[in-house]
Structure 1
């Protein structure tokens, strides 16, 4: 057999093989003849006339179907299992076997059908039988599935809670429920509504970031009913929480009448990742109670204090901070504060909960545990080096009128948002030598800000003092609605804008705010009249 030229395919079917001769053995003589077109007519009579279209169809069946099937990705994913198994079991084929299979001259059954398929073989076969476009589409689908898996709430809470990823397990939120229910009075319908709304708000926030929520039921604290500490047992509750959650590091106390306005802020990003920039150690930066700091060198206590304790700012290291406290217009504000687990933390809690001090000074301490901590800070200088202060609006903003009048923000806004400033900047200090006009121009910006500012998107608001002349339930409901409006998705914002719901909600909030202002003024007038009547009665007596 000789091959002088390459076979040429004919449009009508078969191949032209010029110069290809092969012996045609016959019984009579052994002469040779030209082979002619291939396949021969003899074979065609037995198997049917082969055509170019039939050869293309056979090749398409071998390589996964028609061109439409290859481009239709969904059809490829739903291909019959037998064909996919054929691809997996086929193994590596040499080029001659592939060409024979294209010509429908042989059918490979897979040389590794009985062998165990290894993962690397599966991946190699997938790569061989997947086009570049299919590989790209598969990669996109795998990436989307991975994002969906990480965004699933239980899994999100898991990796945010782990100590080596999110670090949420280091934080415990302590919320006092049922205040006064077991000691001084029973709750009504509005008290139940406040408690339910507050617990739901804190639980959603804790679940989102992997924190632990510890709800302290004050009904079980009847052992304090015979003491002067009946209404301020939060110190003992913190100590019990430390014993219960031994793996936690920071314990965040929250009053029941608080609302987390920005649940998208984690404690780490909001405070603890930049603890040195968010806090100030020198109380002279903002000192509404005029506490002498540092301790005078003529004081007897200076003989027992080291240089770090005598320094105004301590050692300026975040690792030495064990307590975070905000300050309002009257001093320490303990509706929202942090305590760290440490030897110092245990000592300060023991000193804070000392019953001897309470029995001697309970008539003077009208603000209960707040006045007690102020007394310890003033008379026990050893605690100052471990205490840091946060701006009030960062973790414990007040509603309008809770601590004087809301001065608002400057016309051009604050120089920097509260979350981006360095609180320890000397330019923010409110010393007496500073220009009064400059201080007045700052208004609610910086460390002197006390009231909630919607434009600044403050983190938390505390309805402090709402028990006297205000409605706690209504205020919490209004702030919860405002938080929902500020944190809606884009689609929800678009729908409300189309329907005009945003405008109606804003108008309703303005009317409600004006109604509360008038109610407060009426209550203040009645209180003044009552005090005048009592004063006249005492003078007459």
Structure 2
């Protein structure tokens, strides 16, 4: 079988091409060099003035604006989303738990309800992802955004999360390397040679997989990509058994650009389970841990977040009184 060969290109243009090019040239359309220079300079000056005004008044490109002020706000913003149907008294106590901690360490807080995010028929737990983007918009100069589920408490308010785990040195010290992303036998493992200053998302895992009750994301262009990828409608409509939790496991294992920015840290550092973990396991809450988490306490039935958290609230008050 023979295939038609494409015509060869030649470095010698046909005579008619040269004649047409010459015949179309008309000196009267040339712009004098001095005038052309003035026009170009005027255009550049106009564009520079527009860019400067947009940058000064916050209407310009987000990248330029962030590069000038990033890191000048609260170092950490604590983000929590509540079900609007939750008990108002309990919601108030959880908010105060975050607010008092934030005031103590110079952080900020961001609270919202699940109904304010358009997640359509997806589980309400998906609302944490747009809530983080929302918080980043309202706090454009902050660095870290710590999502802490409403089913978790800051149990040791004296511990600042910045020096506790978010500093590059602490991340390098504590990150779990060369371990399956999804235990016990995922073939995708955490990278072994990551530097702390390159980490943009900090998560924990329990014996079943990645946990999404308490995790931190560093603000930046990469964070927007990460959150947008996570919130993709394909994943929200896929009907994962654990909704956004399993979706996160999927993108971490299939997208090297995400795994390369992720630090997996021991659960006890930011997400100890007060309920739902074997006391012999490393992730079980011990007195002095930063966070006490009660996963599933908001699912109804015989469990109650307010009742399960009550002794921890009392312990926090005692600790404050002793300081």
TM-score (norm 1): 0.44
Distance 1:484 1:379 in 2: 44
Q: Which sits farther off after the overlay, 204-213 or 372-381?
A: 372-381
Distance 1:386 1:231 in 2: 24
Q: 1:194 to 1:283 in 2, by over 3 A?
A: farther
The residue aligned with 2:137 is: 243
Residue 255 of structure 2 corresponds to residue 255 of structure 1: no
CA contact (8 A) 2:177 2:191 kept: yes
CA contact (8 A) 2:73 2:142 kept: no
Cα drift, residue 267 of structure 1: 1.5
SS at match of 1:488: helix
State the Cα deviation string for residues 404-451 of structure 1 (Å, max 9, x = none): x312xxxxxxxxxxxxxxxxxxxxxxxxxxxxxxxxxxxx4xxxx111
The residue aligned with 2:321 is: 488
CA contact (8 A) 1:281 1:387 kept: no
Q: 1:382 to 1:173 in 2, by over 3 A?
A: same
Cα drift, residue 238 of structure 1: 0.8
Question: Equivalences for 1:159-174 in 2 at 5 Å?
Answer: 169-174=74-79
Compare relative contact order (CA 8 Å, sep 6+) and give the higher one, 1 or 2.
2
Distance 2:173 2:139 in 1: 28
Residue 143 of structure 2 corresponds to residue 264 of structure 1: no
Cα drift, residue 174 of structure 1: 0.6
Question: Structure 2 residue aligned with 1:392, among 267, 270, 282?
Answer: 267
The residue aligned with 2:38 is: none
Cα drift, residue 260 of structure 1: 1.0
CA contact (8 A) 2:74 2:106 kept: yes
The residue aligned with 1:227 is: 121
Question: Structure 2 residue aligned with 1:218, among 111, 114, 118?
Answer: 114
Cα drift, residue 465 of structure 1: 1.5
SS at match of 2:269: helix
The residue aligned with 1:500 is: none
Distance 1:459 1:230 in 2: 26
Cα drift, residue 368 of structure 1: 0.8
Residue 198 of structure 2 corresponds to residue 320 of structure 1: yes
Unmatched 5+ stretches in structure 2: 1-70
In the comparison of the two structures, how many residue pairs are matched? 249
CA contact (8 A) 2:101 2:157 kept: yes
Distance 1:287 1:256 in 2: 24
Question: Structure 2 residue aligned with 1:450, among 283, 302, 309?
Answer: 283
Distance 2:93 2:143 in 1: 27
Unmatched 5+ stretches in structure 1: 1-165, 295-310, 408-443, 491-541
Cα drift, residue 216 of structure 1: 1.5
Cα drift, residue 228 of structure 1: 2.4
Q: 1:384 to 1:231 in 2, by over 3 A?
A: closer
Q: 1:243 to 1:260 in 2, by over 3 A?
A: same
The residue aligned with 2:311 is: 478
Distance 1:333 1:351 in 2: 18
Distance 2:285 2:307 in 1: 16
State the Cα deviation string for residues 455-504 of structure 1 (Å, max 9, x = none): xx1111011112353221111111111223344327xxxxxxxxxxxxxx
SS at match of 2:272: coil
The residue aligned with 1:429 is: none
CA contact (8 A) 1:194 1:476 kept: no
Distance 1:462 1:329 in 2: 15
